[in-house]
Amino acid sequence: MDILSHFVNQVNDLLWNQLLIYLLCGVGIYYTIALGFVQVRYFKASITSLFGNISLFGKRADKRGMSSFQAVTTAIAGQVGTGNLAGPSTAILAGGPGAIFWMWVSSFLGMATIYAEAILAQKYRTQDKEGQVVGGPAYYIEQGLHCKWLAVLFALLIILALGFIGNMVQSNSIASAFYGSLSIPLWVSGLIVAALTAFVIIGGIGSIASFTEKIVPIKAVLYFAGTFVILVYNYEWIIPAFKIIFVAAFNPQAVLGGGIGIAIQEAMRFGIARGLFSNEAGMGSTPHAHALAKVENEEQQGLIAMMGVFVVAVIVTITALAIITSGLSMWDAGGQQAASFMSVYQGLQGIELTQMAYSWVFGRFGSIFISFALLCFAFTTIIGWYYYGEMNIRYLFNNKKAVRIYQCIVVIFIFCASLIKVDVVWNMADMFNGLMVLPNLTALILLSPVVIRLTRAIKKRSPVDKEAKR
């Protein structure tokens, strides 16, 4: 086990701390420039596309696809998980408050990348032998690049990364959180999550889309409301928190003191890495949902896909502000004895920082609130990631029997994961997540002329430009 753990850690260091940061940012910069800063020019149109289609009770999805709003909520279900609660705290611990600025940068670039992913998913979507609309990176890799082996490799990696290992991590996070806050036995939480998952996924795309269109907006509103209370309580520290984020992004020692030892490179590395992991732009996961959207042209889904990354960035921001303002408030309440407010985070890890921020305002209820937030975030992620895996099961086997077998395995894994320690599983999830990015980025780079051509062609006949100029 030690040998496996060492190997996985080495691969993750190469992927996430070196290779993928440059590749994902590079692709984001390329598409930002090539598409004329699409995330800026069409930001208003993107918001209109999202909020103009909100419906908690839309038409049930079928074999022909789902509504544009259902597609983006299914995508956000996969994007907004434990990483959005633990991601900011992890970035702050490792790279200081300045890491949040670089998370914003990765989100800005990711909006252009995910726009391209959604367009390609729409362009190369097709139907399986049962008449079900299907799409995603495996399909645009095979049809666009005519590279079957690379498409198969991607399909296998995402099934492992998200459908199996990733969902084990989410299930374990839920069980651990409720054991810590309410002393609920791990197996009870695991059984409940497994049963709920089976209930949702057994109904297919119709059940999944109906679930995500309701729960995603509700969980976002509830989390925003809880965090808003914290920010109101810590209102006097909001402006200092923003100042700390910007100053620490370029001069960490001016904020943290020389003893902390965080450099600009560390703030950039951890901020960008956690940002990319949180919004999933370029990873090849969300195109599976966007491929099924019923839209008039590819650009429409590209615009609404950008809002998925923006929503994630907002959640990351309010979580970070809750953590930093609470930290400043506790530091001030302690008489400012320590050299840096970062001292209040000493001994805490990951999600514990988020729980600290809520507990400072809400007391013990804060920890319980985060547990329930984690349940909502992680469970919707399980549903989203399950579906991404199903799309690739359909790609590889193209029959309903394989989907049923996959469903059974996922439910069993979800239950078993609640009972085990998953340190190595967490790292393996990161590794397979990183590996699946490589085939997708290859396609994004080589198929960029298709994205640019479609965007320019659609722009000539689309009202989007007119709306953007108003």
Q: Among 98-102, 210-214, 430-434, name the most confident range.
A: 98-102
- Other residues' Cβ atoms within 10 Å of the Cβ of residue 58: 18
- Other residues' Cβ atoms within 10 Å of the Cβ of residue 303: 26
More confident residue, 361 or 466: 361
Task: Summarize the confidence of residues 185-213 as an average pLDDT.
Answer: 86
- What single letter denotes the amino acid at residue 356? M
Low-confidence winner among 155-164, 177-186, 388-397 (lowest mean pLDDT): 177-186
Task: Kindly compute the dihedral angle of the four CA atoms of residues 322, 325, 326, 329, in this order, to the nearest 10 degrees.
Answer: -160
Q: Is the pLDDT of residue 228 over 70?
A: yes
At 60 the pLDDT is 62
Structure tokens at 360: 């400072």
At 340 the pLDDT is 63
* Domains of the chain, first to last: 17-44+67-441 (1.20.1740.10)
Q: Is the pLDDT of residue 470 over 50?
A: no
At 466 the pLDDT is 46
- Which residues lie below 8 Å from residue 95, measured CB to CB, with a gap of 6+? 102, 262, 266, 267, 268, 269, 270, 271
Q: Is the pLDDT of residue 39 over 70?
A: yes
At 468 the pLDDT is 43
- In the chain, the percentage of residues whose pLDDT exceeds 90 is 27
> What is the distance between the alpha carbons of residues 21 and 9, in angstroms, rounded to a whole number?
16
At 374, is the pLDDT very low, low, confident or very high (cuts 50, 70, 90)?
Answer: confident
Low-confidence winner among 61-70, 265-274, 320-329 (lowest mean pLDDT): 61-70
At 194 the pLDDT is 93
- Other residues' Cβ atoms within 10 Å of the Cβ of residue 279: 31
For 85-135, what is each residue's pLDDT tens digit?
777 877 787 777 888 998 899 999 999 999 999 999 999 998 877 777 889
Low-confidence winner among 58-72, 112-126, 276-290, 417-431 (lowest mean pLDDT): 58-72
Task: Summarize the confidence of residues 172-182 as an average pLDDT.
Answer: 79
For 332-372, what is each residue's pLDDT tens digit?
665 554 456 666 677 666 677 787 888 888 887 887 888 78
**Quick one: angle between helices 43-51 and 298-333, nearest 10?**
90
Token match 């923006």: residue?
310
At 467 the pLDDT is 43
**Quick one: angle between helices 298-333 and 204-233, nearest 10?**
30
At 469 the pLDDT is 43
Token match 């930001």: residue?
43
Q: In whole numbers, what is the pLDDT of the chain averaged over residues?
A: 82
Predicted structure pTM score: 0.87
> What is the distance between the alpha carbons of residues 289 and 387, in angstroms, rounded to a whole number?
8
At 463 the pLDDT is 46
For 295-335, what is each residue's pLDDT tens digit?
777 788 888 899 889 988 998 899 899 988 988 887 766 55
Q: Is the pLDDT of residue 407 over 50?
A: yes
Structure tokens at 291: 């491929």
Q: Is the pLDDT of residue 259 over 60?
A: no
Measured over the CA atoms of residue 88, residue 91, residue 94 and residue 95, the dihedral's sign is negative
The values of phi and psi at residue 306, to 5°, are -60, -35
Task: Summarize the confidence of residues 128-154 as an average pLDDT.
Answer: 91
Helix ranges (DSSP H) in 234-257: 238-250, 252-256
Helix ranges (DSSP H) in 234-350: 238-250, 252-256, 264-279, 287-290, 298-333
Task: Summarize the confidence of residues 77-88 as an average pLDDT.
Answer: 74
More confident residue, 122 or 46: 122
Task: Summarize the confidence of residues 233-261 as an average pLDDT.
Answer: 78
More confident residue, 147 or 64: 147
| H or E element, residue 108 | helix 98-123
Instruction: Give per-residue burial for 325-342: e unless 16+ CB within 10 Å, then b.
Output: bbbbbbbeeeeeeeebbb
At 46 the pLDDT is 83
Report, in angstroms and rounded to the nearest whole number, the Rg of the chain calculated over CA atoms: 21
